[in-house]
Amino acid sequence: MFDYDPQKHYPKETESRVVIRFQDCDPLRHLNNAKYFDYFFNAREDQVPKLYGLEIIDMIREYKAAWVVYNHNISYIRPAMVGEWVRIMSRILWYNANTILVEYYLTDDSKTQLKTLLWSTMRYVTLEEGKSTNHSGAVVDFLKATSLHLDPESLSMRDRVKELKQSLESKG
């Protein structure tokens, strides 16, 4: 379970390095559009325990609730190609009493070219009834420690794509 320490700095962003697998690509050797979701979710699932000492399944069992996706917003900028090494970053942009917005983005291995940006909005729901419920206990501590606390009204996918592209290109 997540044990919040107010004296500790918690990274706001996870990062994974992965290779694009042949079986996940279309005939043009591009990563299949639907497979981006698997790569994003698997990368975050691998990194959260490493960075925060937290297995999400432990929270699900403890609080008998889980996040369920109800909206995806994705921009495909450049294709990820078979055999290519890429970087996948993720972070919680915002949360409220029962919802989170997670940002995932994929770049080339040198982190100079943005390939894809995904925003997933998720509602926290009870396991038994599937009804919306409020975050509580260690879940709230985890969100406080790891979220960027951005204002959702100020967020625009188009602007975020431009911002990320400029930031990455300036590093290259």
pLDDT by residue for the chain (172 residues), tens digit each? Answer: 788 888 899 999 999 999 999 999 999 999 999 999 999 999 999 999 999 989 999 999 999 999 999 999 999 999 999 999 999 999 999 999 999 999 999 999 999 999 999 999 999 999 999 999 999 999 999 999 999 999 888 889 999 999 999 999 887 6
If one counts every other C-beta atom within 10 angstroms of the C-beta of residue 10, the result is: 14
pLDDT of residue 169: 86
pTM here is 0.94
Q: Which of 149, 130, 147 is nearest to 139 (CA)?
A: 147
pLDDT of residue 172: 65
CA 137 – CA 48 distance, rounded (Å) = 18
Say if residues 3 and 53 touch (Cβ distance below 8 Å).
yes
If one counts every other C-beta atom within 10 angstroms of the C-beta of residue 29, the result is: 14
Cα dihedral 23, 26, 27, 30 in deg (nearest 10): -100
pLDDT of residue 171: 76
Domain spanning 14-171: which superfamily?
Hotdog Thioesterase (3.10.129.10)
Say if residues 86 and 25 touch (Cβ distance below 8 Å).
no
pLDDT of residue 45: 95
Q: Which of 65, 50, 55 is nearest to 99 (CA)?
A: 65
